[in-house]
Amino acid sequence: MAISFDLTGKTAIVTGANTGLGQAISVALAQAGAKVALVGRSSMAETEAAIKATGGESLAISADLSTLEPIERIFDETTSWSGGADILVNNAGIIRRADALDFTEADWDAVMDVNLKNVFFLSQAFGRRLVAADKGGKIVNIASLLSFQGGIRIPSYTASKSGLAGLTRLLACEWAGKGINVNAIAPGYFSTNNTEALRDDPDRNAAILARIPAGHWGKPEELGGAAVFLASSASDYVHGTVLPVDGGWLAR
């Protein structure tokens, strides 16, 4: 059997696709041949333009994933546009920072709702559609180094990303036999808007770089290959893995 990373004829849904890692993943999937439904709260114009520049096709879907309300609409709009979906990338996530002694219930719930609860119910809705159509598909969750480590001052983020690693394994156990691959990527330290403050702090920047064997912050496009692999037939026998893409951080 020939190994193929080609996604021609496939449709992907990517949440949090407006910027950063979600944008890079969306562009990489489009470059591999997929049509991409872009889901987010803010404008996806920049991502749409980047995909168009590669000759790809995209659809922007405005949705606030702090609630479950948009889930059915996301799949309905995607189906109306392309006939269905084959790939779901659960990338959308938020973070709240405070000492554990001071952390509020509101900040706990906000993060868990987006990072874990919504991921499960998006995946459930996707899985139900695939099973009903008697076809396989790919789910790629975006986990974190905090799926493996504790971190500091981000209790709900660490809990959500650790939970996401477990959820990835559970869904893989239940759905692998149905032809649905469920895996995750754990990004390391990447140059995005979310890490700008860390990169601008000379001490924190130096400390982080000192631990990365690759010697540099990740570029968002360096995450694309892992996403294409897990979305393609090349990963058909890969189930329940959490793949670090971290420049060697966890190996240190």
Q: pLDDT tens for the chain, 252 residues: list them.
A: 678 999 999 999 999 999 999 999 999 999 999 999 999 999 999 999 999 999 999 999 999 999 999 999 999 999 999 999 999 999 999 999 999 999 999 999 999 999 999 999 999 999 999 999 999 999 999 999 999 999 999 999 999 999 999 999 999 999 999 999 999 999 999 999 888 988 999 999 999 999 999 999 999 999 999 999 999 999 999 999 999 999 999 999
CATH class of 11-245: alpha beta
**pLDDT at position 2:** 78
Residues near 103 by beta carbon (within 8 Å), at least 6 away in sequence: 96, 155, 156
Catalytic positions, written as ranges? 157
Q: What is the pLDDT of residue 1?
A: 63
Query: 130 exposed, middle or buried (CB, 10 Å; 0-12, 13-18, 19+)?
Result: buried
What distance in Å separates the CA atoms of residue 59 and residue 34, rounded to the nearest whole number? 12
End-to-end CA distance of the chain: 37
For 80, residues 6+ apart whose C-beta sits below 8 A from its C-beta are: none
Strands 137-142 and 58-62: unpaired
CA distance 111 to 117: 9
> What's the pLDDT at 63?
98
Distance CA 144, CA 188 (A): 7
SS3 46: helix
The pLDDT value recorded for residue 181 is 99
Strand partners, 138: 87, 181
Q: How far is CA 87 from CA 7, 35, 183, 231, in A?
A: 10, 10, 11, 6
**Contact at 8 Å (CB) between 164 and 147?**
yes
